[in-house]
Amino acid sequence: MTAELESQNSWLSNSDMEQVRNRLPIVYVNVIPVRTDATGEVTEIGLLLSPDDDGNFRHALISGRVLYNERVRDALVRHIEKDLGPVSFPRIPLSINPFGVFEYFPTPDVSGLFDTRQHAIALAFVVSVSGDCRPSQQALSLNWIRREELSSGFLEREMSNGQHQVVISGLASVGLVL
Amino acid sequence: MTAELESQNSWLSNSDMEQVRNRLPIVYVNVIPVRTDATGEVTEIGLLLSPDDDGNFRHALISGRVLYNERVRDALVRHIEKDLGPVSFPRIPLSINPFGVFEYFPTPDVSGLFDTRQHAIALAFVVSVSGDCRPSQQALSLNWIRREELSSGFLEREMSNGQHQVVISGLASVGLVL
Amino acid sequence: MTAELESQNSWLSNSDMEQVRNRLPIVYVNVIPVRTDATGEVTEIGLLLSPDDDGNFRHALISGRVLYNERVRDALVRHIEKDLGPVSFPRIPLSINPFGVFEYFPTPDVSGLFDTRQHAIALAFVVSVSGDCRPSQQALSLNWIRREELSSGFLEREMSNGQHQVVISGLASVGLVL
Amino acid sequence: MTAELESQNSWLSNSDMEQVRNRLPIVYVNVIPVRTDATGEVTEIGLLLSPDDDGNFRHALISGRVLYNERVRDALVRHIEKDLGPVSFPRIPLSINPFGVFEYFPTPDVSGLFDTRQHAIALAFVVSVSGDCRPSQQALSLNWIRREELSSGFLEREMSNGQHQVVISGLASVGLVL
């Protein structure tokens, strides 16, 4: 099925995708990977360290599109595997109801979240992973940050495009108020 | 802004829209209008009575696309006004986090919900309205159904494309289990 | 800590507990144990088969009180372990926000859910278990029921005190509308 | 019914209540009153300004117990009316599912939220009010604070017992990340 989806995706050529991006909101999933203790309490969160468009290293969420005919569940599995490798053993949520819906507009003035390429509507999830996380080449590393070390100021400085809002909100949804 | 959005929308010509619909999931909002008592308990739900593609009258939700650069909140206001008229006085939810995310696939075998035209991902909301609801021409009438009269069998018979699932789920989310 | 909690609990003698039960709502957790596939979709739900007050065998949820000074998370772990044994490997939810709050009143006319002993307010969770479930003596067995075999009629017949409402609602919250 | 509930409550004498408070978690509702624009977006939040146990003025949420045989909905109505007066016109949520469950322990070290009198489990709601709010005598005034003026630091300084966590979390749940 993945092959089929990819072929459908490549069928949407880059120039076509550019055109579509200026006309319709694009559905995304956003994932905050976490580690927990035995009672389900979050102990660490994982942030990808990647170069942004200007070549600076920034922390980022796992993020990616939902493809045509792809279930949200399968998009979650696919993007987590893409960024954390094949043995991260994510516990995909029982419900595809996100902790929050986040709107990325082409300009920062609407919601504070923005994405210059497009209008994206992201379903955001906190996902517990229990295995070994090995980020792919594109994301240079994955930083695990202990809950004691997190602060809203840190996230705001380290993340781009207003994405710290997604992390702060996701942590609040699991009882961790920064 | 509505005018601007509509012009952007018409700018996506019908044939363009057809092409896009075969390539990307389209973001929708689904709304179940309800009336409540003073303690917030749902007393009645509203269902639109519209002709389906075969000319049969079927009950349906309020449903419509989120446009490029449109906030989910504004899409809710726009579609409720389109279907219930200008004085329905909807209480738009404080949060755009839906009670459920529903995936309509082009074929009924994936999720039971389907839409032959497209792959739609709908954010679904229960919205209380306190005003006078006057459906537009397209939806021929709005039926208010008292909670005592509702059953899962009734909804399954009366609604198309698996949409009774959305209503049953929405009612469960407000404490009304059919 | 469990020992400490139990001693606090026994410190509330049976007659004291009787008195309190007539004066205050008692906080409970309700748990629907499920098995899932790799994408998080529920494939089976577990129901305890226990004798009710009249000696008839009825299906029931995992249910129990939250004790003084006990975290909701710890109450979840304790009651799941009590009913499913020590190696069920539950995935305690990341958030203690329940899928629903259910009010059991001493008489069935208020909410349909009732508990003749008390007014209980239950925080209800769907919890995935990946291990081996061995119910304790009190609950004679645990029945795993495949999603294809579930119906609202079955649950209504098999469960007491309106508790089928909790299960139907919980399954709706994970996308399984009966 | 209010009279009946109050009589039941007074029937639980102060000394009895003291005893119960040391033995069982007590169910509370916490309410953040807000004003919104026509699209449901929060524009202002209301905080009560009350003297704390040491006579200092502190900002606080609307907060109070759920009584025996009282529905959560009715507790919400009662406590909002008690603190905001009879014409605040609250829009009681359609669902009694809270945005968060907050655990106040007798000591601050467990969750950061505490209440020296008791172990309280609070169901927390953001509630839109459209009328005229006139706090009762006990709460000396109600301050409306515009969203632009809010910050997590302000809330942490102004609120006691860790209660700023509830407000920050509630605002995040409606898309307002501080």
Q: What pLDDT is attached to residue D12? A: 63
Both structure tokens of B16: 């363009």
Residue C126 contacts A, CB cutoff 8 Å: yes
CA distance D64 to D80: 9
Q: How far apart are CA A6 and CA C92, in angstroms?
A: 35
Lowest mean pLDDT, pick from A63-67, B174-178, D9-13, D147-151: D9-13
pLDDT for residue A18 is more than 80: no
The stretch A75-100 carries a mean pLDDT of 96
Task: Please report which helix (H) or strand (E) contains residue C96, including its range.
Answer: none
- Local structure of residue C66 (DSSP, 8 states): P
- DSSP, collapsed to helix, strand or coil, labels residue A163 as coil
- Neighboring chain A residues of D172 at a CB cutoff of 8 Å: 100, 168-169, 172-173
ipTM for this prediction: 0.91
Nearest beta carbon to residue A165 from set D100, D168, D177: D177
C-alpha distances out from residue D122 to D26, D61, D163, Å: 8, 12, 11
Mean of the pLDDT values across residues A13-19? Answer: 74
d(CA A150, CA C70): 26
Q: Which chains touch B (3 or more CB pairs under 8 A)?
A: A, C, D
d(CA D161, CA A78): 43
Q: Does D111 touch chain C (CB under 8 A)?
A: yes
Q: What is the mean pLDDT of residues A36-61?
A: 91
Q: Do C101 and D98 touch (CB under 8 A)?
A: yes
Give the closest residue to C27 by CA, choosing from A65, B60, D170, D24: D24
B5 pLDDT higher than 70? no
Read off the pLDDT of each residue in B83-91 and give the average, rounded to a whole number.
Answer: 95
Contact D38 B128 (CB under 8 A): no
Mean residue pLDDT of chain C comes to 90
Strands A42-51 and A57-60, sheet pairing = antiparallel
Q: How confident is the model over A50-60, as pLDDT tens digits? A: 887 778 889 99
CA distance readout (Å), B6 to A17, A103, A106, A116, C159: 21, 20, 18, 22, 52
Top-confidence residue, D8 or B163: B163
- pLDDT for position D87: 94
> Is residue A82's pLDDT more than 70?
yes
CB contact under 8 A, D96 and C99: no
Least Cα distance to A122 among A26, A29, A31, A22 occurs for: A29
Q: Answer whether A40 touches D (CB < 8 Å).
A: no
Round to the nearest angstrom and report the end-to-end CA distance of chain A.
Answer: 40
- pLDDT of A11 reads 53
What pLDDT score does C136 carry?
76
Q: What is the mean pLDDT of residues A88-93?
A: 96
Tell me whether B11 touches chain A (CB under 8 Å). Answer: yes
Nearest 5°: phi and psi at A121?
-115, 115
Q: What percent of chain B has pLDDT over 90?
A: 74
Q: In this model, does residue C170 exceed pLDDT 90?
A: yes
Chains A, D: CB pairs < 8 Å: 29
On the question of pLDDT at A1 being above 50, the answer is no
Position B12 scores a pLDDT of 63
Q: Looking at beta carbons, which residues of chain C come within 8 Å of B165?
A: 177
Residues of C within 8 A of A174 (CB-CB) are: 94-95
Which of B65, B97, B125 best probes binding to A when mutated, by most A CB atoms within 10 angstroms?
A: B97
Angle at CA of residue C94, ends C92 and C99, nearest 5°: 85
For chain D (length 178 residues), average pLDDT per consecutive 10? 45 71 92 97 95 84 96 98 95 97 93 92 98 81 94 94 96 95
Average pLDDT value for residue range A18-28: 87
Q: What are phi and psi of B140, to 5 degrees?
A: -65, -35
For chain A, what is the mean pLDDT?
A: 90
Distance (Å, whole) CA A48 – CA A44:
13
Q: Which of A111, A112, A168 sits opposite D172 (nearest CB)?
A: A168
pLDDT for residue C19:
77
Residue D81, both tokens? 């009316």
In contact, B92 and D38? CB cutoff 8 Å: yes
Cα–Cα dist A46/B59, whole Å: 46
Structure tokens that stand for A5 in this block: 């989806």
The token pair at D22 is 């040391």
Candidates A172, B160, D97, B112; CA nearest to C41 is: B112
A175 touching D (Cβ < 8 Å): yes
Taking CB atoms and an 8 Å limit, are C71 and D111 in contact across chains? yes
Q: Answer whether B27 touches A (CB < 8 Å).
A: yes
Average pLDDT over residues A106-117: 89
Residue from the list D111, D112, D168 with its beta carbon closest to the beta carbon of A172 = D168
pLDDT of amino acid D7: 46
Asked if the C-beta of C97 comes within 8 angstroms of chain D's C-beta atoms, the answer is yes
Residue in the block written with tokens 């389209």:
B26
CA distance D141 to chain B (A): 25
Nearest to D142 by CA among D29, D35, D28, D53: D35
Q: Is some CB atom of chain C closer than 8 A to the CB atom of A77?
A: yes
Closest chain B C-alpha to C113 CA, distance in angstroms: 11
Instruction: Kindly state whether D36 is in contact with chain B, defined as any CB-CB distance less than 8 angstroms.
Output: yes
Backbone angles phi, psi at C128, to 5 degrees: -80, 135
Task: Kindly state whether A139 is in contact with chain C, defined as any CB-CB distance less than 8 angstroms.
Answer: no
Calculate what percentage of chain A has a pLDDT beyond 90. Answer: 74
Both tokens assigned to C129: 């278990």
Q: Tell me which of B19, B23, B70 to substitute to probe the interface with A (most A C-beta atoms closer than 10 Å).
A: B23
CA distance B46 to D43: 29
Contact B165 C177 (CB under 8 A): yes
Do A170 and A124 meet the contact criterion of CB atoms below 8 Å apart? Answer: yes
Q: Do D40 and B93 touch (CB under 8 A)?
A: yes
Residue (of A97, A105, A84, A91) closest to A123 by Cα position? A97
The phi, psi pair for C82, rounded to 5°, reads -60, -40
Confirm or reject contact between C48 and chain A (CB < 8 A): no
Q: Least CB-CB distance to C105: which of D26, D69, D103?
A: D69
CA distance D178 to A152: 8
Point out the least confidently predicted range of B110-119, C146-155, D5-14, D81-90.
D5-14
The average pLDDT across B21-29 equals: 92
Mean pLDDT computed over C128-157: 90
Residues of chain C contacting A81 with CB distance shorter than 8 Å: none
Lowest mean pLDDT among C1-10, C135-144, D122-131: C1-10
Q: What is the pLDDT of residue D1?
A: 38
DSSP assignment letter at B66: P
